[in-house]
Amino acid sequence: MAYQERGARYNLHHCKTHATHRDEGYVLNGEKVMVAAGLLADAFVVVARTQGAETEADGLTMFLIPADTPGLHVIRQWLVDSSSAAMISLSGVRVGTDAVIGNPDEALPLLEEVIDGGTVALCGEMLGGMCEAFDRTMSYLKERKQFDAVLGSFQALKHRAAYMFIETELARSATMAAARAVDAGEANAKALVSVAKARCSDAYVKIANEAVQMHGGIGMTDEHEIGFFLKRARVAEMTFGDAAYHRNRYATLNSY
């Protein structure tokens, strides 16, 4: 899915990539960034502007373009959690009208639906990650001893552990509500998706940070797995919109 561009800041209809109608098809020029697993893709769903200015909601069209199409170039990117993404450049890429997905100039509603579905799925993964990081940290606090006492017996760490538990439960409730709303096609589904992503973005990073700190020096090493949760939390936080973006989206959807 190649839809993000430089400077868009998660705005789905911020699109400089142009598709010009010529002969029996289109010619695409532009660039996409942060295409998940882009180096491994056989084809890309590229969002391009066929009408209007670069920030207008109308005038977007989706194209299915094989990765080996002349003029399409893929540049690999590495993310902090060691997952891969790609930058996609399109220079004079020619496709036929059969490459169009859906209706020309009307791609935004479908794009929003796809991204919201992906966001809910990502929230589920983030919830699983924070719960696993929390469980591993609790096990460590019950086993590791300092000053002849297990770490979990220290009141300050008990308070922090309780806060981590509360954060996971809030994230769980928000994610479940969003998933149900999307499945049922409820009117407030978009707003609940933003609630879930904002909640999970904040909670996962907070819990992963606490998990690393509570593990002490060993938590800072790549030899111990707890640090990988923090790296994944940082990438997931910025995928499909960070917490600030989704709080603003929620406010906009509710006419604040």
The 10 Å CB-count burial string (b at 16+, else e) for 134-163 is bebbbebbeeeeeeeeebbeeeebeebbee
If we measure between CA atoms, which residue out of 227, 172, 232, 179 comes closest to residue 200? 172
- Looking at residue 157, its pLDDT comes to 78
250: Cα separation from own chain's centroid: 17
How high is the mean pLDDT of the chain? 93
CATH architecture of 108-253: Up-down Bundle (1.20)
Q: Could you tell me the pTM of the whole model?
A: 0.92
How many helices (H) and strands (E) would you count in the chain?
Answer: 5, 9
222: Cα separation from own chain's centroid: 24
- Looking at residue 142, its pLDDT comes to 84
Write out residues in the chain with pLDDT < 70, as ranges: 145, 151-153
Find the DSSP H helices in 144-188: 155-184
- Looking at residue 152, its pLDDT comes to 59
**Sign of the four-CA dihedral 26, 32, 36, 40:** positive
CATH, range 18-101: 2.40.110.10
CA distance 8 to 6: 6
- Looking at residue 153, its pLDDT comes to 65
Domain residue extents for the chain: 18-101, 108-253
Is-contact 175 200, C-beta < 8 A?
A: yes
**Sign of the four-CA dihedral 214, 210, 128, 44:** negative
How do residues 83-106 score in pLDDT, each as one tens digit?
999 999 999 999 999 999 999 999
